Structure 1
Amino acid sequence: MISDTLLRAARRRFFAGATAFVVGIVAVPSFVTPTIASDAPPSVADLAERLLGAVVNISTSQTVKGTEGPGAVPMPQLPEGSPFQDFFDDFFKNRGGDKGGGQKVQSLGSGFVIDAEQGIVVTNNHVIADADDIEVNFSDGVTLKATLVGTDTKTDVALLKVDPKGHKLTAVKFGDSTKMRVGDWVMAIGNPFGIGTTVTAGIVSARGRDLHSGPFDDFIQIDAPINHGNSGGPLVDVKGDVVGINTAIYSPNGGSVGVGFAIPSDQAQKVVDKLMKGGDIEYGYLGVQIQPVTQDVASAIGLDHPGGALVAAVTDGSPAAKAGIETGDVITGFAGQEIKDPKDLSRAVADVSPGSKETLSVWRNGKAMQISADVGRNAEDQKTASNDEGGKPSAEQGLRVPSLGLGLTDLTPDIREQLNLADNQRGAVVERVNPDKAASAAGIEPGDVIVAVDRTPVKNARQANQAIAEAGKSGRKSVLLLVDRGDAQIFVAVPFAAG
């Protein structure tokens, strides 16, 4: 018999990932006027005048399928006699350039020149993605055809080249985004809505924002208004140096709310330098699934302070697996860099050339150690690790863990089916969580499968119960549970004191 709680958990697993953080460039005429501090520049007119010539409007076109057949662009459903009927008839039916109903669809974005002699222009990858034709429009009215030098989808950076043909270009240079502080003045330049080059000003609102749009997210958050068409334009500091590429806004209601995001220049310039050399963009790869080390996790594993990247899973056959990295290790250093959190590790590994040998500082079983690893190449189709332990579940059901507020049960065929688990999945299923106990506060949910306790694998509810009891007797403040939830494994530290 499967409880209602587990049935609800099964539904959560089925719909996991269906909710996304809404981030995008949207078109709403909203403007934010910053409060001018006494030490703020009285005007940015001179700075804007110097930079406007280097900022370009990028227009692209691509052919899409017509209104009939597979993959067709659908005709909007309009009321009979709608005044928009003729407009959409013309747009959807008469713009086709071939008998198959193909249509030319245009889009707009921004960019900036970084090399006047060679005609090199930087923009966002999503501005020119899938384009058949790319044109670069300069502020003096000159329009030049552009060719694609290269792109990097992971950082959303693209590089274009135009032939100046005697036209004198103006260029800007990259600045140092690592020196930008929250509260620093910045200026965003671009072509919103295609109306022409536009300048807006504001401040740096935050650093290191992760929008879950890519593996190396490290956005600068700004309040300088950016809108549709600003993508790919420069974010500049008070000296006129490019400290970011304007990329997205957060919009919970479809309108601009003064929360914009830019790719920092220190990240973008590395990609641009590689693209200018004509090489493919390759990132280092270890093959670990990682998560933050909280205070409770640190207490559970004997670290004197939270920090580092906790390894929740190791991909079979990956460089990490070959080097001997284990689930439960905490990576505190990589290639001479201190690792304070998982993002530090992701970025540090990404910056290393595939094939290089690097040293990792690791905390394991209460001891610090050094491990050497050959860094691999990050590819799009690499998977995280999965639990491959075989065998059948035990028959004992419903064991309680009162100190944590958990009700555990074994994996039965019915539960496997309801939770969509593999036949060889082992562990103890969380059937109930007392909302007033420590496990609930730590984030344990019904339907979670506990696969290890303090890094020791457990096959069933009895083993999990015994391991948790032993951890409690050891005098530690927390117990570390390795939990299988959906398609991922995560560590959750549950404090005994809160039970």
Structure 2
Amino acid sequence: MRPLPTLLTLALAAAFGGFAATAIREGLQTPAQASPAAAALPLPIAGALPASVGGQPVPSLAPMLQRVTPAVVSVHTKQTVRIRNPFANDPFFRRMFPNIPQERINESLGSGVIIDAKNGYVLTNHHVIEGADEVSVTLADGRTIKADFVGSDPDTDIALMRVPAQNLSAISLADSDALRVGDFVVAVGNPFGIGQTVTSGIVSAVGRSGLRGLGYQNFIQTDASINPGNSGGALVNLNGELIGINTASFNPQGSMAGNIGLGFAIPANLARNIKDQLIANNGVVRRGSLGLESQDVTPQLAAGLKLGEPRGALVSRVFAGSAAAAAGLKPGDVILTANGQRVDGRDALRNFEGLQAIGSKIALEVLRDGQPLQLSASLREQAKAVAGADLDARLGGATFAELPERLRQSGFSGVVVESVARGSRAEKNDLRKDDVIVAATSGQFDDLPGFRASFTRAPAQLVLRIVRGNRRGDLQMQ
């Protein structure tokens, strides 16, 4: 006799996996409506799944989840926020109302995954713990323990914590590169603060990128429900191995609008790489870089470059002493693939670079003067910040850094002011922390290496075009 085919019922939904309130205030209530009885109908017989069908046991995820769920934790954060009260600094109101509140405590909730029971390492999302003054985790057995912060990487949205506790359960990490579209997956987390919840689905896509505002991207896409509070939780395969960290989902109506089957998880291999770097480098990630600037290939450029289609990253500048220079790349080259991955434009190349470690060997397929060329590059360390005084005395006291990748995904280019020393020349010139420098009279630039290179010759008049909040303006540096 042929065994009956097995059908797995899959939940189809997704929502933004971010911070969530710790309880649902009210549920929906549907009052029962009475209707006149005509003739008494026989009551339906309650149905139940049989233990086996055609001699084959009915499949269940329960045995696997018994091993997985103890390793998925709830992450609680507290952050002290100063209240902007217009009366708080008024002497009269301070005398009349001495207890005017000037601070409040924001509490949020996410999820995390224990990946090392011996050392107590817990992976979660950077956005779950960002800005938190205090973080604690609640284990599946009910224990709540204060967590120690190890480090985080905003550009891949990975954070690592340590929980000083005994008798922990951990999930082993799978090779996420082996994932295929159609593989069954299960998401575990704490959505809406209602308690640990399991949803299931399939892998809808791998290597997904191009989502605005989400940093460096190489996402696993799934139709398993990912809801508010699921952020940092586990995406596992049917063997109970971690294949991804749930991070976000897409809904054009907003994060609370409901599931539409577009959830995203950070691949386990990328999370493992970031975790190893955070442990080895005292909580920071060091990235490799080609050391070049590029631009998208327009249809007009494609015709002039003898390209069959308008795609690739057109090299516009190669920085001296960079990996690109050592590899022999030149302005005018068009990078078509990197390690076999298709490069459609500037953002795709930048995203590829941001996911590589220092020293990574990169095979580049390049078009030069209409002829194909194979080049090999070894990525060098990408500078994280530069002191303004090293560029121009008029910028003394300011420190400039690369833009967060989420801002680049939102359409920005340039550099960000990381800090401004009190009483410095930069402060007197009205430069402020978190200003985004998008242009300057020193020359054109897209990123920190380009900004630094633009000061090869100091301009007679230095004017910075900045974005501050929702406003744009020009600052003349004296």
Query: Is 1:136–2:137 an aligned residue pair?
Result: yes
1:54 corresponding residue in structure 2: 71
Determine if contact 2:274/2:285 at 8 Å carries over to the other structure: yes
2:408 corresponding residue in structure 1: none
Determine if contact 2:20/2:193 at 8 Å carries over to the other structure: no
Report deviation, 1:274: 1.3
2:245 corresponding residue in structure 1: 245
TM-score by length of 1: 0.58
Identity %: 38
Alpha-carbon distance in structure 2 between the residues aligned to 1:316 and 1:40:
63
Change (3 A) 1:170 1:371: closer
Give the aligned length: 337
TM-score by length of 2: 0.60
2:314 corresponding residue in structure 1: 311
Alpha-carbon distance in structure 1 between the residues aligned to 2:108 and 2:439:
44
Alpha-carbon distance in structure 1 between the residues aligned to 2:77 and 2:441:
50
Query: Is 1:225–2:240 an aligned residue pair?
Result: no
Q: Secondary structure at the match of 1:53?
A: helix
2:269 corresponding residue in structure 1: 266
Report deviation, 1:125: 0.4
Change (3 A) 1:69 1:125: farther
Q: Secondary structure at the match of 2:172?
A: coil
Q: Secondary structure at the match of 2:127?
A: helix
Q: Secondary structure at the match of 2:342?
A: coil
Q: Residue deviations 1:273-316, cap 9 Å, x none?
A: 1122244301112244446669986664235x669832253376
2:287 corresponding residue in structure 1: 283
Alpha-carbon distance in structure 2 between the residues aligned to 1:267 and 1:223:
21
Match of 1:331 among 331, 335, 341: 335
Q: Residue deviations 1:314-351, cap 9 Å, x none?
A: 376683675564443112465xx234215774455335
Mapping of residues 22-33 of structure 1, within 5 Å: 25=18
Q: Secondary structure at the match of 1:187?
A: strand
Alpha-carbon distance in structure 2 between the residues aligned to 1:321 and 1:309:
16
Mapping of residues 96-495 of structure 1, within 5 Å: 101-164=102-165, 167-210=166-209, 211-254=211-254, 255-256=257-258, 257-279=260-282, 280-290=284-294, 300-302=304-306, 309-311=312-314, 313-314=316-317, 319=322, 322-323=325-326, 325-332=329-336, 337-341=339-343, 342=345, 345-346=349-350, 348-350=352-354, 352-354=356-358, 360-369=364-373, 370=375, 375-379=380-384, 381-382=401-402
Q: Secondary structure at the match of 2:316?
A: strand
Determine if contact 1:293/1:308 at 8 Å carries over to the other structure: yes
Change (3 A) 1:294 1:195: same
Change (3 A) 1:103 1:291: same
2:458 corresponding residue in structure 1: none
Alpha-carbon distance in structure 1 between the residues aligned to 2:163 and 2:20:
28
Alpha-carbon distance in structure 2 between the residues aligned to 1:237 and 1:184:
8
Q: Secondary structure at the match of 1:140?
A: coil
Q: Residue deviations 1:370-402, cap 9 Å, x none?
A: 47676341537348699xxxxxxxxxxxxxxxx
Determine if contact 1:316/1:385 at 8 Å carries over to the other structure: no
Report deviation, 1:50: 1.4
Q: Secondary structure at the match of 1:226?
A: coil
Alpha-carbon distance in structure 2 between the residues aligned to 1:71 and 1:228:
34
Alpha-carbon distance in structure 1 between the residues aligned to 2:133 and 2:203:
36
Determine if contact 1:290/1:309 at 8 Å carries over to the other structure: no
Change (3 A) 1:129 1:245: same
Change (3 A) 1:143 1:185: same
Q: Secondary structure at the match of 1:208?
A: strand
Report deviation, 1:147: 0.6
Report deviation, 1:140: 1.0
Q: Secondary structure at the match of 1:178?
A: helix
Report deviation, 1:180: 1.4
Letter in 2 for 1:149: V
Determine if contact 2:20/2:109 at 8 Å carries over to the other structure: no
Alpha-carbon distance in structure 1 between the residues aligned to 2:105 and 2:329:
51
Determine if contact 1:284/1:377 at 8 Å carries over to the other structure: yes
Q: Secondary structure at the match of 1:56?
A: strand
Of stretches 211-220 and 367-376 in structure 1, the one that deviates more from structure 2 is: 367-376
Q: Secondary structure at the match of 1:200?
A: strand
Change (3 A) 1:278 1:285: closer
**TM-align CA RMSD:** 4.1
Alpha-carbon distance in structure 2 between the residues aligned to 1:115 and 1:307:
46
Determine if contact 2:177/2:269 at 8 Å carries over to the other structure: yes
Letter in 1 for 2:277: K
Alpha-carbon distance in structure 1 between the residues aligned to 2:215 and 2:84:
36
Change (3 A) 1:69 1:161: farther
Report deviation, 1:143: 0.8
